[in-house]
Structure 1
Amino acid sequence: MKCRVIGMWGGFPKENGPCSGYLIEQDEFKVLLDCGSGVLTNVQKYVDLNNINHVLLSHYHYDHFSDIGAYLFSRLVNTKIGNTDEALHVYGPDDEEMKRRVEEIEYCEFSTIDKNSELHIGPFRFTFMRNNHPIETYSIKIESGHKKIVYTSDTSYTSKLIEFAADADLLIAESSLYDGMDGSASGHMTSSEAGMLAYQSKAKKVILTHLPHYGELEELLASALNEGNHAIELARPGVLIEL
């Protein structure tokens, strides 16, 4: 499996720095996790949009899904001019308005996910855990063969994450807040909590994502590393992780 970070900023994008988006690949099969602001432009540096036919949305905050509307129109236009003949499949939490928006565009389909869902898409198996966040949000586990990627999406810390992420080959852990801040109300983790999750889950490689637009990110990284797992890095747009 491969994971390419398309974007990782929380809230809003930077210049040439998109919000959440991660391209998961194996044997030329591709799935996009989240499609936040700036993702659709930047993912095209690495892949033709017509070669991604499945998009999983963890939740419906703009920094995780705002580019999906443009993706729907891309599929409509590219199908009509003969560049693709496969529907764009969008998966996300149950929401009638989202289902309507997706399916009112030709050649696009919507399917719901919840904590009991198990999806088999190409070579991948997807399972989900409900997060602590102001709206319905899911952590996503992707497995193929003996490899495992876990993406926390947005959540405050909960011990349930430890079992869900246990022995992940790659843990993509949100780290929206600096050590000493309280993310319980906003539904986000601090850097030390992300580091604690990395250590207790025994993740083999960890990237910190959903990064804040303020403070010194090296301090964020240092406090995460201080929890004991030394295989932690900051996410960077375009970085490719091969498992």
Structure 2
Amino acid sequence: MKITVIGCWGGFPKVNEASSGYLINEDGFQLLLDCGSGVLSKLQNYTKPAALDAVILSHYHTDHIADIGVLQHALLIDSFTMKTREEPLPIYGHQESEGFSTLTYKKMTTGVAYHPDETIQIGPFVVTLLKTNHSVPCFAMRFEANGHTIVYTADTAYKEEMIEFAKGADILLAESNLYKGMDGTSAGHMTSEEAGIIAQKAGVRTLVLTHLPHFGDIKQLKEEAAQLFEGTIVLAHEYLEIGL
């Protein structure tokens, strides 16, 4: 299993970069996790949009889905020219808000509903879900394949249940939109400290801090998390690759 950070910025993309988007690959199966602003452009350094096998979305805030429309249009153009795909691209999302209705587009993409009380199979990945503490319905995800596990917190304030959900993961991709001492409860975001607490109590191997803020010195996030987590900490950046 390999994960590649396509975009890691919270709210909006940094200059010449992208907001949330991650490519997870297992035995050639390419799963795009979230598709925020700038992701489609950056994704093409790794793969063609029409070569994706599936997309899964944590929620419908624009910094996580802004490029779904242009992805759909890219597939439409491909259907006229290269004709890469024979079947619509499945886009997995929840039905707890109106955003789901946009996931099906002509014969290019098909929205596939997921539910928090069930486990889903997407290619080689077994995916389980946990509803987060965010301002809109949002779901953390646990991806398991061939003995390896990646957990994505998505957008969330600190949530005790995340510890058990992330238990023993090889990689915890944790949002860290705030610095030590800040309160993200009302905004639905975590601090670097809270990401470190979850990683330590869950016994994960590697903590990747992502959904980064546009203020302050982001290197400080890693230093703050390291005060609470004894494992490997990586600050997400464009095109970061971690293989398992």
Q: Do both share a fold (TM > 0.5)?
A: yes
- Secondary structure of the corresponding residue to residue 35 of structure 2: coil
Give me the identity figure in percent: 42
Query: Which amino acid letter does the alignment assign opposite residue 40 of structure 1?
Result: L
Q: 1:96 and 1:189 mapped to 2: Cα distance?
A: 23
Equivalent position of 1:57 in the other structure: 57
- 1:73 is displaced (CA, Å) by 1.2
Aligned length: 243
> Per-residue displacement from partner, 1:35-89 (whole Å, max 9, x unpaired)?
0001010010011111103110000111111100111111122123223222111
Instruction: Tell me, in whole angstroms, the C-alpha distance in 2 between the residues paired with 1:109 and 1:172.
Output: 27
Q: Aligned partners of 1:165 and 1:222: how far apart in 2?
A: 21
**Which stretch shifts more, 218-227 or 70-79?**
70-79
- After superposition, residues 40-55 of structure 1 pair within 5 angstroms as 40-55=40-55
8 Å Cα contact 2:37-2:65 kept in structure 1? yes
Paired residues for 1:229-240 under 5 Å: 229-240=230-241
Asked if the contact 1:53/1:86 (under 8 Å) is kept, the reply is no
CA–CA distance in 1 between the matches of 2:129 and 2:210?
19
Query: Any unmatched runs of 5+ in structure 1?
Result: none
Q: CA deviation at 1:102?
A: 2.7
Q: Distance in 2 between matches of 1:105 and 1:168?
A: 38
For 2:157 and 2:184, how far apart are their aligned partners in 1? 6
Partner of 2:5: 5
**Per-residue deviation, 1:129:** 0.2
Partner of 1:163: 164
Query: Superposition pairs for residues 4-43 of structure 1, below 5 Å?
Result: 4-43=4-43
TM-score (normalizing by structure 1): 0.96
Q: Secondary structure at the match of 2:149?
A: strand
Q: Structure 2 unaligned segments of length 5 or more: list them.
A: none
Question: If the length of structure 2 is used for normalisation, what is the TM-score?
Answer: 0.96
Q: Over aligned residues, Cα RMSD in angstroms?
A: 1.2
State the Cα distance separating 1:152 from its structure 2 match. 0.3
CA contact (8 A) 1:17 1:237 kept: yes
Residue of structure 2 in register with 1:241 after alignment? 242
